[in-house]
Amino acid sequence: MGFVSDPVDDVLGSRAKSAVADCLLGLYREQGKHEAILSMTGRDVESRELALEWDSLTCCWHLLGEAGAVRRDTVKGEVLAAIRELLALGEQATNKSITAHLDTDKGNVSRALADLVRDGYIVKADKIGRVQTYNLGHRS
């Protein structure tokens, strides 16, 4: 997302009005996009930015994880999006198919896959011969 989000400054444009709040949440989305950032700050919560994705079928926001970890403009975010797209098309998500889908370096995809498995965004599925397939994990 290409803009700065600060819920404290965005509460009617004044810090004085937001000074009494224990927690402030701001949902930031670029027009026409399905991805958004939920920014939170306050006295009793740790300041965080979470990446969300709108599902128009269920009319719900789905948590993708920490915004910095899964933003679509990062390699991990692109790999995660490619897995979603491949699975939606009924195709297997493998290192080779993800690399071809993104038209990128296989080594970068391999490192991103390892990180996403470690962090729970994706899981290793059944192997097809010697080829490892991937599915969405509990954090996706």
Closest Cα to residue 35, out of 7, 89, 74, 8? Answer: 74
Q: Please say whether the beta carbons of 126 and 90 come within 8 A.
A: no
Specify the CATH number for 75-136; select among 1.10.357.10, 1.10.10.10, 1.10.3720.10, 1.20.140.10: 1.10.10.10
pLDDT at 2: 46
| Separation CA 6–CA 65 (nearest Å) | 19
pLDDT at 1: 44
Q: Delimit the domains of the chain by residue range.
A: 7-68, 75-136
Specify the 3-state DSSP secondary structure of 22.
coil
> Could you read off the pLDDT tens digit of each residue along the chain, which spans 140 residues?
445 566 655 565 555 555 667 788 888 888 887 788 888 888 888 888 888 888 888 899 988 777 766 666 678 888 988 999 999 999 999 999 999 999 999 999 999 999 889 888 899 998 989 999 999 887 65
Closest Cα to residue 113, out of 126, 128, 123? Answer: 123
